[in-house]
Amino acid sequence: MSISVRSGRKRAAGAALAAVVLAGGAVSCGSEKSDKAGGDMAPAAAVKKAAAKSEDLTSFTFRMDGKVPGDGRVKAEAAMSTKPLSMRMEMSATDKGVPQKAEIRLVGGGLYLGGGKEAAKEMDGKSWIKFPAEGLGKNKPGGTSLSAQADNNPADQSTLLTGSDDLKKVGTEKVEGVETTRYTGTVTMDRLRELMKDEDAATKKRREKSFKQYEDMGVEKLTMDMWIDGEDHTKQFRARGKGDKGPLDMTITFIDYNKPVTIKAPPASQVMDIAKEMKGAQG
């Protein structure tokens, strides 16, 4: 397997990882059966209520489209379970003008990155690379292990918008055929730190984990939009900001939630294990 293939696939994995973390910015998805939205509730109350309804979120499917600082354009479709932790994502990313396509699976303590037939041509017929979850992602947005990044529960990140001092109702819009009410506001990292001083230890820990990835990207101020349906679930979420390595602008649209998500590791015969390859090289 060539070094260029390894580095290219790992960059794609990094972009996907950042995208998964940002997906935590959404609260939960809206029901397709909903035909009302928002009502006359005050913006702050509506956002807090949507955040509260996300507490039981254990699995979800979603689409995403946007830009991640340092990783370029990212588009993906994904399914994720938090209990047990597992994830499947089909994504495309454009890094420095070079397109990267990959399927990513996080399951059983490892991250599998699939490059299809093109990857197999350069990896002795193997179309998947396995990275140890505890080692990947240390130099990616968030600065911690992949497992810690993927374990960002959307319910925790939903509290970020409640810290906005200028939250307002934009109006009603349809998202994926569902009537929603759109809210927007801005929040700074300094404001979030200030609010956390009065939180209990458990809540403080969750919130620190929730916004740390934005800090690591160099984003100090976020503009957030949330589309809430008639059942007080968030159907769509958008986060924008300016990072050290470029703009952040990610939109996550939720399709379904709290339904079984089954993810399997690729067949062993199709997998190249990076940990074993590195051990062999060192030997």
pLDDT in tens, the chain (283 residues): 333 444 444 444 454 444 444 444 433 333 334 344 455 688 988 888 887 777 667 888 889 899 888 777 888 898 988 778 888 988 887 765 556 778 889 888 788 888 777 776 777 778 898 887 665 444 443 333 333 344 455 445 556 787 788 999 999 999 999 999 999 999 898 888 887 777 778 667 766 766 777 888 889 999 999 999 998 888 888 989 999 889 999 898 988 888 888 999 999 988 988 777 776 666 5
Hey, which residues does 94 pair with through a beta bridge?
A: 73, 99
Please tell me the predicted confidence (pLDDT) of residue 109: 78
Assigned token pair, 152: 């960002």
- The candidate with the shortest Cα–Cα distance to 60, out of 173, 155, 140, 159, is 155
Asked if 189 contacts 126 with a C-beta cutoff of 8 angstroms, the reply is no
Number of folded domains that form the chain: 1
Calpha distance 117→127 (Å, rounded): 6
| Domain CATH for 151 | 2.50.20.20
Please tell me the predicted confidence (pLDDT) of residue 39: 55
Please tell me the predicted confidence (pLDDT) of residue 159: 62
Q: Which residues contact 170 (CB under 8 A, 6 or more apart)?
A: 182, 183, 184, 225
Please tell me the predicted confidence (pLDDT) of residue 156: 57
Range of the domain at 85: 3-282
Q: How many CB atoms lie within 10 A of CB 192?
A: 20
pTM of the model: 0.75
Cα 89 off chain centre by? 10
Please tell me the predicted confidence (pLDDT) of residue 96: 59
Please tell me the predicted confidence (pLDDT) of residue 137: 47
H runs (alpha helix) in the chain? 3-23, 43-52, 116-122, 146-150, 154-157, 189-196, 201-216, 274-282
Please tell me the predicted confidence (pLDDT) of residue 196: 77
